[in-house]
Structure 1
Amino acid sequence: MHDEPSSFVIKESWPVPGEGTFTSILKKRAETDPEHPFLVWDGGRLTIGELHEASNRMANALLALGLRKGDVVGLMLDQHAEHVITLYALAKIGLVRTSINVHSKGDYLSLLIGDAQPRAIIAETAYRELLETAMDKTPVEFAIWNETEQGSGTHRLQDLLRNGDPALPSELADPDDVLVINYTSGTTGAPKKFTRSDRVLQIGCIGCLLIGEMEPNDVLLFWEPLYHGAGSQTVLAACMEKVTLAMVPRFSASQFWDQARRTGTTKTHYIGGILPILLKQPARPDDKVHKVSVAWGAGCPADVLAEFEERFGCRVNEGYGLSEVANYVCINIGGPKGSVGRPLPWFMVRTIDGEGNDVPPGQAGEIIAKGKRPEFTSRSLNKQKTTTADGWIKTGDLGRFDENGYLFFEGRKSDSLRRRGENVSAWEVERIVVQHPAVEECALIGVPSGLGAGDDDLKIFLKLVPSASLEELELIKWCEDKMPYFQIPRYIGFIDEFPKTPTQRVKKAELSRSTSDCWDLEQSGYALRR
């Protein structure tokens, strides 16, 4: 077992997780440095003092509506300052946020709303029709829309921001109050559902500050969607250090470095296949002309890491984590290249064999992790076979420790899928596709995307109903109305019979990973709607 950190320097100026809350952290920042630019974007800026006051106004307005600590609030908002203010407003008064991917629709959206059971929804009017369809099945008491004109019988986000009391709310979250419900896609069943407390979110944020080597006056190129765990965590981490988030609408490989130069970016984050995608851009004479000193994230192969550092002239700090704990559990700062680092001070990490025994250094085993105290980790809201009797989380990933306690990621043991930074549940996709009248049975697997370890393209196998026929593009268009674009398979293959276990489970390991024996969406020329 490896539970001792390497020489991580946790600054005295950073909060000790649990000694305060995000409310007290933001309040202190607003009192000592109110004019510091917290968030900047094309045409605007939000200071730390303005963020504190605006989130107070909104928090008090939500309390005035009748919402109370512990109520669930679903967010389906785009990338803008009001979304950031909303995140802090909910955190201040202990409203439990569940962020909804803005590409959600159809059965997927209904399933999420039905499970989360939010008392309120805060969303863009662009998603109103989709949400109201979902809310027909799961009634929601308060719907708050981001709209410029007053609608009949509706609440407006702008009114909450304008009319709420600017004073600190009288009802505030405590360190171990739940602030977030996260869903992380299951591999063979329904999505896994976890809560995170204020304390756990703080631990995750300090992990970000450490792996990013954050210093006062750093500027972070902020491209991550705010509905994504990495995006919301970065926003919360930014109030713990005197940094500025330079927000752009979305990730753009062609504009990335120009955006970094224009905003004076000094640090940036990556997920999934971002670094390989940037490396595929045409080389430019000014590839090293920027201020970025560190890129931090996870899922970067060692050869890609070395090529990226050489071409763009910045360090890459790799880490390893999982939603079920507190995101990062290991980080690598100055350790051997290719390693995901050593455990952070709050966690224990082991590698075990099939019998649950620890494996020796140099030998691969399944990675399991655990907080040193129960309040240091997320709490599962559904029964998972991936948690041992004594609380260890079985990740389904393979890894090996070297003699110095550095962990090296060795691939997946489980059937989990990850596509361009988004977790994909095979079960979620399969349960929708099998509803097509021509499909009798289906199975989804991941195949190499060419973007490095930890990034998959999706291949689905279809067994059709006897005498039925189905064109591949017909299925794709059918899926577009029922699931977000990132769940739609790229490859489609047909099969007469699936290999099965004696208990009739599909033996996915025996399905072909080849991409030359099936239909390819990208080669079809069809552009998915988003």
Structure 2
Amino acid sequence: MSLQNTPGAHVAMNEVGDETIGALLARRARVHPDETYCTFKGECITFRLLDRRVNQMATLLKAQGLARGDRVAVMLPGHPEHLYLIFALARLGMVRVPINVHLIGAPLEHLLTELDPKVLVADGAYRAALDGLAARLPPILWRNGADGEFDAFATCVEDDAATDVRADDIIALSPSSGTTGAPKGVLKTDRHLRAGPLAVLRLTEARPGDVFLFWEALHHGSGVAVAIAALIGRFQLAMLERFSASRFWDDARQHKATHIHYLGSVLPMLLKQPESTQDRQHGVRIAWGGGCPSHIWQEFSERFGVTMREGYGLSELITFVTANVDGTPGSIGKPLSYYDIALLDDNGAPVAAGDKGEVAVRAHDARLGFLGYFRNPQAEADARRGELFMTGDLAHADAQGNLFYAGRKKDMLRRRGINIAAWDVESVFAEHEAIAEVALVGVPSDLGEDELKLFVRVREGVQIEPLELIRWSSSRLPYFQIPRYIEFIESFPKTPTQRIQKKELSRQVAGVWDVADTDFRPAKR
């Protein structure tokens, strides 16, 4: 089904202008110097102070011999100093290479090798992970290091020299999600990095005086988008060191938050917390993000008294490509007016109304489209089909043009001659009260197709037998979608967006619970 010509099928957006992030920051410091940009551990960071610290950080970077266009890898925790570095790199036109601070071993080595930074800025807390790598590393500027070189940035004079950074200069390499293959460096311009925040502002309806509880990791694009959105929209960030489900609503109350952000498993984690008479005693109006299962939408909204706002985006484009601004439960909404979206079958033809198809995106302005992968022309070519970027994600649409996410195309399995979407099976099992998270993968069968193996993480303090789950599912799934194998798991490997990394899940079945060893036989209906 093609949506591009459907009336009312787009969410109106403002134009993404040419004023760069660095120029915007300088203007904020000049026009609104005493407004609060961010708070952290009792410290109030105004636009004036933010601008000063960014300019001092710029002096430090230049002292390292770095210049416009140089790639700088960043491996830092959530802290205002990380923000100063992000903005300084943008102002100087250097290319930020964000590194997930939780990476170790081969995945960490892959990014540092493939994205080839000239310098790595890293916190001393990650020294052991970096020292354990076999690859030759770039020079490292240590935060909390023995020489104190990074830590002395606030003693530097301000570098406020004019820069010639332009809106369409590449200033970041954003690692792709890596759910099915090795992460690739996505080319990002200053314009890209401002378009995503404009979508955040449209989705959240944030205004000056609002407060966002800011827990997001800054190695992830959504965290950076929120930081830039606060610069554009003049709302405040209440920055936390880390996400804590048990303290979340206390933090929201303490900081007078009006907006909370979620990714992946965040909402189920908050719902798992003990119910309290204070569940609605807060000032939060809107919970916004991506990855809210439809069965959780209403439960979360009713328990905590918030309005849900859902969108869909991906590393290769901007933070959000679609936005659900009318509250249709479970929907990722409609495309922003920057884009057209079509749902296509394997032959590139639009699917029938209501059917699932691959999400294909065309940017109205090529400057907001997919710009390519760093030094990976083959992967770039594989992702394009003419003007379309093929996302690899599946969705279907209702009669009003609302889109509903339906999993990854590569998660399509074939069993007994029938195609099965992993998302369909996972969505059913996710509704079971004992289950916190699930993931379905295909494993080899004697017949040459897939057998279904379900990984299950149960809720804390809950026990359930595999056969009980299978019997429960038999009235909810057709026989060919009922898993053969079930393996319980304590935690799932995750991407920075909290998506389960299925490539890390074992396909071994030796010793795994097997429905074939029981007397259960699903009825064919």
Please report the TM-score for the alignment, with normalisation by the length of structure 1: 0.77
Please name the residue that 2:278 is paired with.
286
CA–CA separation in structure 2 for the residues paired with 1:387 and 1:348: 16
Please name the residue that 2:46 is paired with.
47
Does residue 345 of structure 1 match 2:337? yes
Task: Specify the SS of the correspondent of 1:297.
Answer: strand
| Structure 2, gaps ≥5 residues long | 413-421, 457-465, 467-484, 492-525
Root mean square deviation of aligned Cα: 2.8
Please name the residue that 1:105 is paired with.
104
Counterpart mapping for 1:104-503 below 5 A: 104-134=103-133, 137-140=135-138, 142-147=139-144, 149-150=146-147, 156-163=149-156, 165-186=157-178, 188-381=180-373, 382=376, 383-384=378-379, 386-415=382-411, 448=426, 457=438
| Residue identity (%) | 34
Task: Give the number of equivalent residue pairs.
Answer: 443
Change in CA separation of 1:189 and 1:338 when aligned onto 2, cut-off 3 Å: closer
The one-letter amino acid paired with 1:356 is G
Task: Specify the SS of the correspondent of 1:278.
Answer: helix
- Contact between 1:325 and 1:370, CA under 8 Å: does it hold in 2? no
The one-letter amino acid paired with 1:329 is V
Higher mean C-alpha displacement, 98-107 vs 377-386:
377-386
| Structure 1, gaps ≥5 residues long | 417-444, 462-494, 502-506, 524-530
Deviation at 1:191, TM superposition (A): 2.1
Change in CA separation of 1:296 and 1:451 when aligned onto 2, cut-off 3 Å: farther
CA–CA separation in structure 1 for the residues paired with 2:288 and 2:54: 29
Change in CA separation of 1:52 and 1:514 when aligned onto 2, cut-off 3 Å: closer
- Contact between 1:38 and 1:244, CA under 8 Å: does it hold in 2? yes
Deviation at 1:329, TM superposition (A): 0.6
Encode CA deviations 1:213-242: one digit per residue, 9 max, x unaligned: 111111000111111221121111110011
The one-letter amino acid paired with 1:295 is A
Change in CA separation of 1:189 and 1:522 when aligned onto 2, cut-off 3 Å: closer
Counterpart mapping for 1:40-119 below 5 A: 40-119=39-118
The one-letter amino acid paired with 1:44 is E
Deviation at 1:186, TM superposition (A): 4.1
Deviation at 1:452, TM superposition (A): 7.6
- Contact between 1:386 and 1:395, CA under 8 Å: does it hold in 2? no
Task: Specify the SS of the correspondent of 2:126.
Answer: helix
Encode CA deviations 1:239-282: one digit per residue, 9 max, x unaligned: 00111110112111111111101100001111102112211211
The one-letter amino acid paired with 1:513 is L
Change in CA separation of 1:398 and 1:6 when aligned onto 2, cut-off 3 Å: closer
- Contact between 2:314 and 2:320, CA under 8 Å: does it hold in 1? yes
Deviation at 1:38, TM superposition (A): 1.0
Please report the TM-score for the alignment, with normalisation by the length of structure 2: 0.78
CA–CA separation in structure 1 for the residues paired with 2:228 and 2:384: 31
Please name the residue that 1:17 is paired with.
16
Deviation at 1:60, TM superposition (A): 2.7
Encode CA deviations 1:406-444: one digit per residue, 9 max, x unaligned: 21223332239xxxxxxxxxxxxxxxxxxxxxxxxxxxx
Higher mean C-alpha displacement, 405-414 vs 261-270:
405-414
Change in CA separation of 1:500 and 1:39 when aligned onto 2, cut-off 3 Å: farther
Does residue 513 of structure 1 match 2:511? no
Deviation at 1:74, TM superposition (A): 0.7
CA–CA separation in structure 2 for the residues paired with 1:76 and 1:45: 24
Please name the residue that 1:504 is paired with.
none
